[in-house]
Amino acid sequence: AQKITQTQPGMFVQEKEAVTLDCTYDTSDPSYGLFWYKQPSSGEMIFLIYQGSYDQQNATEGRYSLNFQKARKSANLVISASQLGDSAMYFCAMREIQGAQKLVFGQGTRLTINP
């Protein structure tokens, strides 16, 4: 069964610093995708970045990058130069490629950026 683990319930970071949010996963399927979503207090889930299990390069999207270590089953999100607007809940999620559109989410990390 798929499982996503986010071990940091909350993180506090100074503005402009880089921050790493941890995510480990477990699956027996060799084909899967890993996602990071941001959820502000409004509730909407905002897609940030995606990494496929066969992708050779770590994914990057602007200030977001994904540190993908397949052997360790780790997919950490790195946010460079954090901004006050980055304060939100962050969720790591996984989908097995052969399955239907079912995302399995971690418990989330609440990130607070301090001025």
Partner 1 sequence: KAGVTQTPRYLIKTRGQQVTLSCSPISGHRSVSWYQQTPGQGLQFLFEYFSETQRNKGNFPGRFSGRQFSNSRSEMNVSTLELGDSALYLCASSFPGQSYNEQFFGPGTRLTVL
What is the binding site for partner 1 (CB under 8 A)? 33, 35, 37, 42-47, 50, 52, 91, 93, 95, 99-108
Let me know: does 38 contact 49? Beta carbons within 8 Å: no
Q: Please report how close the Cβ of residue 44 comes to partner 1 at its closest, in angstroms.
A: 5
Give the phi and the psi of residue 79 in degrees, each rounded to 5: -110, 120
Nearest distance from C-beta of residue 77 to partner 1, angstroms: 16
Give the H or E element holding residue 61.
Answer: strand 60-61
Q: Among residues 28 and 98, whose Cβ is nearest to partner 1?
A: 98
Q: Which of 111, 109, 115 is nearest to 7 (CA)?
A: 109
Nearer to partner 1, 46 or 81 (CB): 46
Nearer to partner 1, 57 or 115 (CB): 57
Least distance in angstroms from the C-beta of 97 to partner 1: 8
Contact criterion met (CB below 8 Å) for 103 and 35:
yes
Q: Which is nearer to partner 1, 39 or 67 (CB)?
A: 39
Residues in Cβ contact with 7 at an 8 Å cutoff, skipping those fewer than 6 apart: 22, 24
